[in-house]
Amino acid sequence: MSPLPLRKLVNAIADPSGDHAGASLPTTSNAVRAEPAFAPSRSTAAPNAIVRIRRIVPSSIAHRLRGMLLTIIGVMVMGFVIGGLARLAVPGPDPMPAWLTIAIGLAGSLGGGGIGWAIFGRSAYAINTVGFITAVLLVIAYRRFYQGRPLTGPEAMKFPERGIGLARFRERQAKAQHMLRQAQHAQAQSQVQDVTEEIRKLGELHEQGILTDEEFESKKRELLAKL
């Protein structure tokens, strides 16, 4: 629709009941576009997801999971301590891996603790004592029947010929010895170079007449004695 002339527009506004009452105000043919609705961005999507997760997983469940994790860690530490003490109670070297030490400690604590609870009741001292004794008996059984080692005498103090984790221990030991030999070789080479440099400097002083023949030979013997 084309816009009305300016005079007709003024008359229509001034006299609504006149001939121009039916005239409509100028409009445009293009419709006004509605602004798009707000769409959440990636920065707001993550907090919304966290809020939904918090609604799904109550705080009590998270508290229980945290308590369960701390309990598992505490049990493993207790097993390692009891297993380590049981290993120390039996004389002789034993390259037992850490996981086996924890397993022996846990088996002794749970099995022996159950026996102690069944015999002595809820006495913490009795339960812990029986659990430790059980762990020691497990170490003795491992050394006697699996490794085939005596528990007393000179043979008990020798390094075992078989055992769990023994091959890996020997590999680590061989690597450590190899690194030690390399370090010693590098140190010896450095010392030889230092002595050679000192002898060269003494030779220059001897050629200049600053050192006598006896002084030069004496200093040279002292340096060579360090090798």
Mean pLDDT within 160-164? 86
Look at residue 2 and tell me whether its pLDDT is greater than 50.
no
pLDDT of residue 217: 84
Distance CA 109, CA 118 (A): 14
Greater confidence (55 vs 98) lies with 98
Least reliable range by pLDDT among 42-46, 184-188, 211-215: 42-46
- How many other CB atoms are found less than 10 A from the CB of residue 127? 21
One-letter amino acid identity for 55? R
Q: What are phi and psi of 117, to 5 degrees?
A: -70, -35
Angle between helices 124-141 and 59-89 (to 10 degrees): 60
Look at residue 137 and tell me whether its pLDDT is greater than 50.
yes
pLDDT in tens, 68-90: 788 778 778 888 888 889 988 89
Look at residue 155 and tell me whether its pLDDT is greater than 80.
yes
Mean pLDDT within 27-36? 45
* Residue that is written with structure tokens 């059980």 in the block: 134
- How many other CB atoms are found less than 10 A from the CB of residue 112? 23
Dihedral, 108, 113, 119, 123 alpha carbons, nearest 10: 140
Element (H or E) spanning 201, and its range?
helix 166-207
Of the candidates 170, 175, 101, the one whose C-alpha atom is nearest the C-alpha of residue 142 is 101
pLDDT of residue 186: 85
Question: 74, 106 in Cβ contact below 8 A?
Answer: no
One-letter amino acid identity for 158? K
Query: How are the residues of the chain apportioned to helix, strand and coil, as percentages rounded to the nearest 5?
Result: 70, 0, 30
pTM over 0.95: no
Distance CA 79, CA 128 (A): 12
Distance CA 107, CA 101 (A): 10
Q: How confident is the model at residue 35 (pLDDT cuts 50, 70, 90)?
A: very low
Question: 103, 79 in Cβ contact below 8 A?
Answer: yes
Distance CA 135, CA 177 (A): 33
Look at residue 139 and tell me whether its pLDDT is greater than 90.
yes
Look at residue 159 and tell me whether its pLDDT is greater than 60.
yes
Q: How confident is the model at residue 57 (pLDDT cuts 50, 70, 90)?
A: low
In this structure, what token pair is assigned to residue 95? Answer: 């390259």
pLDDT of residue 135: 92
